Structure 1
Amino acid sequence: MSELSSTVALPSRIASLVHAHFDALPTRSKPTIFPDGSREWIPMTGIVAVKSENTSSESLHCITVTSGAKCLSASQVPRCRGLVLHDCHAEILAIRAFNYWLLTECHGLMTEERLENPKPSPSPIIRRRESPNGCNDTPASSIDWPPFEIQPDVKLYMYCTCAPCGDGSMELCMASQDDATPWEVVRETNHTPEAQEGPALVEDNLLDGRAHFSLLGVVRRKPARTDAESTRSKSCSDKLALKQVSSLLSWQTSRLVAPTENAYLAGLVLPEDEISHVACERAFGANGRMKALGGQFWPSDTPGRIGYQFRPFQIMSVPAEEIEALWKFAKPKYITPEATDSGVAPKKSKPGNVSAVWTLAASHSHKCAVLSDTGSKQLPALFRSKTGLYESIIGGVKQGNKASSPLPRGASALSRSKLWALMSIIIESEGRVQGSQNAKEQPVDATAEALPEICPLGNTQKAATYQDLKQSRDKVSGPHQPREEAIRDAREVLKGWIRNTGDEDWGLDVLVDPKKRKR
């Protein structure tokens, strides 16, 4: 929890809190500083929950801190088998880490209930959603929304050390180029049916991260070198824009946490010199490329406190001099040789290849097989905050493992397979809380080899493969159908959205150690 003076502007307090946590990370999780004084650069992101904002009891809670600038090429994705992270840009890791934290927070609270703890301490961030007849202001609804919700007095903010790649930073990208000539786009011809969704744009191709500066307000790939193999990972601007409709909740956490206004980002905090107001309004604003979604609700007949809608976040700035004092791993601004005294261009700085992942510990921690290797023993606390998860990621897997031949031990807790397994365990626990008088006597079976067969909140555990799971998500009814409809409509408005397919043909048995499987 932050102890910074409330007289300091909120964006500055959020930035300082995130930087204090990153600074406390071990050296192995940070960019390299070379003997000649040069250093790698890396984008860094944190998600901060502000409780009771603008009151005497206001408190800031740093939930996640992540860094990263890499993503996988399209050809690497089919080899991942749910064990490798596709997108390790800091903003995307932060969102995945936040959802991981929410799952552990739900798991802790439900386990306390299952153990019949007479006075479990409440979570400062989430709570059990009360019935329409309770004391909160939830209107009556025909939809049985998930059991938890973000506390009504909590607002979520994302801080980034640089503007998100893609449409929200195109003007900054153009201004930083020595030669602003747009890159030539190499067109692909083998498109899947999913690629044809939405309005046609430039032969239905996803634009490269820095190509076609004249085309604005469109979906782009993650930026990369001109000689690098292309990726299908969408830019951070595009993914953040989609989150303005679907909320910060992933499909896993949306099974457990209701989409109230508090589940959406309230603000995006950036250094002032990383903000193009024109680009941000176009990419994220109420009158920008998402304008057509304004006033829509999912489900359409239940506008109210719970439900999906387009909720633009604020763009908040931190003075450049503050960031300069706080952040030594910023990407160097382009300097021409003529601008230096020697006339020789400085050594070119490269992005670091290590991504750091840290999350706050859950309010109540309980043993669970999927939560057994969290890195909290290596790093019990960070800047007076208890660690829930600590990982160093290279190439989409935990440091010391190979992405080319992924194994369960190398899978990040944020990987598709680990999050699916964790959600399955939590949902079974929720079923026991709701449906068993002897829940206290029933252990939670958390092994990957014997995952639960009962799924009170959806058929997510019965799916044989991740592909089956995705197809079941598209067909679900109840509280999950509005989310899928909201995402579908948002993708149609975001011009040129192409799905990143190829990593779906695997089941939860990928989490079983191959050596144990042979016995």
Structure 2
Amino acid sequence: MPDSTFSTPLPSRIASLVHEHFDALPNRSKPTIFPDGSREWIPMTGIVAVKGEDTPLESLHCLSITSGAKCLSASQMQRCRGLVLHDCHAEILAIRAFNYWLLTECRSLMAEDANTSNPSSSIFIQRRAKQECNTSGSSIDWPPFEFQCDVKLYMYCTCAPCGDGSMELCMASQEDATPWEVVHKTKQDPEIQGPTLMEDDMLDGRAHFSLLGVVRRKPSRTDAESTRSKSCSDKLALKQVSSLLSWQTSHLVAPTQNAYLAGLILPEDEISRVACERSFGENGRMKALRERHWTGETTDDTLGYRFFPFQVLSVTAEEIQALWQFAKPKSITQTSAPSEDQIPATEAPVVPKKSKPGNVSAVWAAAPSSSHLGTNLSENGSKQLPSLRKSTTGLYETIIGGVKQGYKASSIVPRGASALSRAKLWALVEIMVELSREAQDHQLETPSTETNIATSHVPCEASHSQIQSTATYQDIKYNTALASLRVRREAIRDAREALKGWAPNFGDESWGLDVLVDAKKRKR
């Protein structure tokens, strides 16, 4: 969708595009508005690709839209078996939906290549020059696709990410800024402002305001069981090293700078510059990674992992107020009129009518950009919502409790699992591996004159065998047999060490793709 409103700042245009898409969603995917006019609140996030930024041909493309404010407690993890989403905060769902879109973008190209000798194209990604598999291990066999060099990725959020990037905002919003007391064993670390935690501990989302620059859990009620899910600030900080690519898309798309977030766009009153610099900036808690490169033995300096801090960009509060009706109510400071014997007005916080976060998460992702190609994916919601603001739907779901609306996480069946769940995404990768085999066979039968490019979409045999011989999710997610994935794991390990206090969220790894076999299929 071409965008010619260059007199409007890019962050404002991105925010407007995201809100236009969310507003067009069915009401069942939105927070409840009650008869008395009160309403639930919800954070909302969108990921937008800007193609040809600052050129006459600049265009904005909404790739994913999500909302959500819930996550699972630690005790629920073992019952998930890959079918339940752990973290339904909007920012994290948006990244998962983006990776789903990227997988389908690659899948569309691969499906076309399996049936024709003429390579199809995408406006977002391209095939890399052909690389032969190197069995000696002396060089990196990077994935076959990469983002085009004129594509930049931006994330827009209606509120600041939870965790370290919003601690000052959290403190300022309370009538009593005393943090929730939590007893921890501490030690001293000169890199952290205040005493620090032992390695096996993680701070609650709103505990210990005196501890800044450390990893935190997602916030929750004081009477609720804690989660092991890391805050959105921490996960976004990690993405500045690992890129937006998940382990699934890392099998197919190479880590170039265009695979990283170029900017995080927030309402201006949701930005603490001090907190953002500490949490995300090159002089903050990740400063030790500024000169680090994770490239293996590759000679191509455009490939590999680096610390790419994103810009934190703002949209005015007035714009957001006009665009967003589901914001979390804030305490309003108003000046009380003094009596004759009083000295000047005092400022008192006015507590707004009690409001709670909605429990419904919306998930939407765009269809592949090659309009003549179909994804052929069942149960992706496109029948209920074929398009959104002229953007063709690739995925549409309404999520409650980590599963699709109408199902229960406590007795989950494959049909109720989100397309963004661990099991469904793994299954999609398996389908794509088979597609790449078919494409390879087709190209052997009908050699192309453009051999250097046309065959470059086929992952090497080592990647095939590693994916298809894996028994459990843990085996495939943490597999380091492939050199490119080994480099990725090293980058993530070093980034987590820099983040201070990152504790793994174990408990939902010991299962295989047989969890997608429904033992109780619906009667026909």
Structure 1-normalised TM-score?
Answer: 0.88
The amino acid of 1:28's aligned partner reads R
Structure 1 Cα separation of the partners of residues 3 and 56 of structure 2: 13
Q: Find out whether 1:466 has 2:466 as its counterpart.
A: no
- Tell me the CA shift for residue 334 of structure 1: 2.0
What is aligned with 1:115? 115
What is aligned with 2:84? 84
The amino acid of 1:478's aligned partner reads A
Q: Find out whether 1:505 has 2:505 as its counterpart.
A: no
- Tell me the CA shift for residue 342 of structure 1: 13
Structure 2 Cα separation of the partners of residues 73 and 392 of structure 1: 20
What are the within-5 Å matches in structure 2 for residues 155-170 of structure 1? 155-170=152-167
Q: Find out whether 1:354 has 2:380 as its counterpart.
A: no
Residue among 421, 438, 452 paired with 1:432: 438
- Tell me the CA shift for residue 336 of structure 1: 7.4
* Kept after mapping to 1: 8 A contact 2:114/2:442: no
What are the within-5 Å matches in structure 2 for residues 171-250 of structure 1? 171-185=168-182, 201-202=197-198, 204-250=200-246
- Tell me the CA shift for residue 431 of structure 1: 2.8
Structure 2 Cα separation of the partners of residues 297 and 131 of structure 1: 24
Structure 2 Cα separation of the partners of residues 332 and 200 of structure 1: 32
Name whichever of 225-234 and 300-309 sits farther off.
300-309
Amino-acid identity (%): 71
Give the direction of change, closer, same or farther, for the CA distance of 1:128–1:334 in structure 2 (3 Å limit).
Answer: same
Structure 1 Cα separation of the partners of residues 274 and 464 of structure 2: 42
* Kept after mapping to 1: 8 A contact 2:140/2:296: no
What is aligned with 2:190? none
* Kept after mapping to 2: 8 A contact 1:296/1:310: yes
Structure 2 Cα separation of the partners of residues 291 and 301 of structure 1: 24
SS at match of 2:264: strand
Structure 1 Cα separation of the partners of residues 352 and 312 of structure 2: 33
* Kept after mapping to 1: 8 A contact 2:333/2:348: no
* Kept after mapping to 2: 8 A contact 1:83/1:417: yes
* Kept after mapping to 2: 8 A contact 1:408/1:513: yes
| 1:411-456 superposed Cα distances (whole Å, 9 cap, x missing partner) | 000000000000111122123323455789xxxxxxxxxxxxx874
Structure 2 Cα separation of the partners of residues 517 and 438 of structure 1: 42
| 1:219-251 superposed Cα distances (whole Å, 9 cap, x missing partner) | 000001111110000000000000000000000
Residue among 307, 312, 315 paired with 2:312: 315
SS at match of 1:48: strand
What are the within-5 Å matches in structure 2 for residues 249-398 of structure 1? 249-299=245-295, 301-302=297-298, 304-335=301-332, 345-364=351-370, 365-366=373-374, 368=376, 371-398=377-404
| 1:116-142 superposed Cα distances (whole Å, 9 cap, x missing partner) | 06473x211111112489xxxxxxx93
- Tell me the CA shift for residue 7 of structure 1: 1.4
The amino acid of 1:354's aligned partner reads V
What is aligned with 2:135? none
Aligned residues: 483
What 5-or-longer segments of structure 2 have no aligned partner? 133-137, 186-194, 338-346, 447-460
The amino acid of 1:158's aligned partner reads M
- Tell me the CA shift for residue 515 of structure 1: 2.3
Give the direction of change, closer, same or farther, for the CA distance of 1:439–1:385 in structure 2 (3 Å limit).
Answer: farther
Which has the greater radius of gyration? 2
What is aligned with 1:419? 425
Give the direction of change, closer, same or farther, for the CA distance of 1:322–1:271 in structure 2 (3 Å limit).
Answer: same
Give the direction of change, closer, same or farther, for the CA distance of 1:389–1:186 in structure 2 (3 Å limit).
Answer: farther
SS at match of 1:460: helix
SS at match of 1:428: helix
SS at match of 2:197: coil
| 1:337-357 superposed Cα distances (whole Å, 9 cap, x missing partner) | 997999984421100000000
The amino acid of 1:211's aligned partner reads A
Structure 1 Cα separation of the partners of residues 69 and 251 of structure 2: 30
- Tell me the CA shift for residue 466 of structure 1: 1.3
The amino acid of 1:252's aligned partner reads Q
* Kept after mapping to 2: 8 A contact 1:337/1:345: no
What is aligned with 1:152? 149
Structure 2 Cα separation of the partners of residues 83 and 72 of structure 1: 13
* Kept after mapping to 1: 8 A contact 2:4/2:58: no
SS at match of 2:155: strand
Name whichever of 299-308 and 500-509 sits farther off.
299-308
- Tell me the CA shift for residue 3 of structure 1: 3.6
Q: Find out whether 1:22 has 2:22 as its counterpart.
A: yes
| 1:59-114 superposed Cα distances (whole Å, 9 cap, x missing partner) | 00000000000000000111001000000000000000000000000000011111
What is aligned with 1:106? 106
- Tell me the CA shift for residue 316 of structure 1: 0.5
Give the direction of change, closer, same or farther, for the CA distance of 1:87–1:169 in structure 2 (3 Å limit).
Answer: same
* Kept after mapping to 1: 8 A contact 2:462/2:482: no
SS at match of 1:75: helix
Name whichever of 356-365 and 456-465 sits farther off.
456-465
| 1:32-63 superposed Cα distances (whole Å, 9 cap, x missing partner) | 00011100000000000000000000000000
What is aligned with 1:494? 499
Give the direction of change, closer, same or farther, for the CA distance of 1:429–1:339 in structure 2 (3 Å limit).
Answer: farther
- Tell me the CA shift for residue 502 of structure 1: 0.5
- Tell me the CA shift for residue 327 of structure 1: 0.4
What are the within-5 Å matches in structure 2 for residues 127-142 of structure 1? 127-131=126-130, 142=139
Structure 2 Cα separation of the partners of residues 249 and 458 of structure 1: 21
Structure 2 Cα separation of the partners of residues 434 and 39 of structure 1: 54
- Tell me the CA shift for residue 405 of structure 1: 1.0
SS at match of 1:400: coil
Structure 1 Cα separation of the partners of residues 130 and 349 of structure 2: 70
Structure 1 Cα separation of the partners of residues 97 and 74 of structure 2: 23
* Kept after mapping to 2: 8 A contact 1:111/1:366: no
Structure 2 Cα separation of the partners of residues 175 and 210 of structure 1: 12
Q: Find out whether 1:6 has 2:6 as its counterpart.
A: yes
Structure 2 Cα separation of the partners of residues 430 and 458 of structure 1: 12
What is aligned with 2:451? none
Give the direction of change, closer, same or farther, for the CA distance of 1:165–1:358 in structure 2 (3 Å limit).
Answer: same
Structure 1 Cα separation of the partners of residues 318 and 228 of structure 2: 36
Give the direction of change, closer, same or farther, for the CA distance of 1:179–1:463 in structure 2 (3 Å limit).
Answer: same
* Kept after mapping to 2: 8 A contact 1:147/1:257: yes
| 1:168-226 superposed Cα distances (whole Å, 9 cap, x missing partner) | 000000000111111122569xxxxxxxxxx9724631100010001000000000111
What is aligned with 1:480? 485
The amino acid of 2:75's aligned partner reads S
The amino acid of 1:165's aligned partner reads C
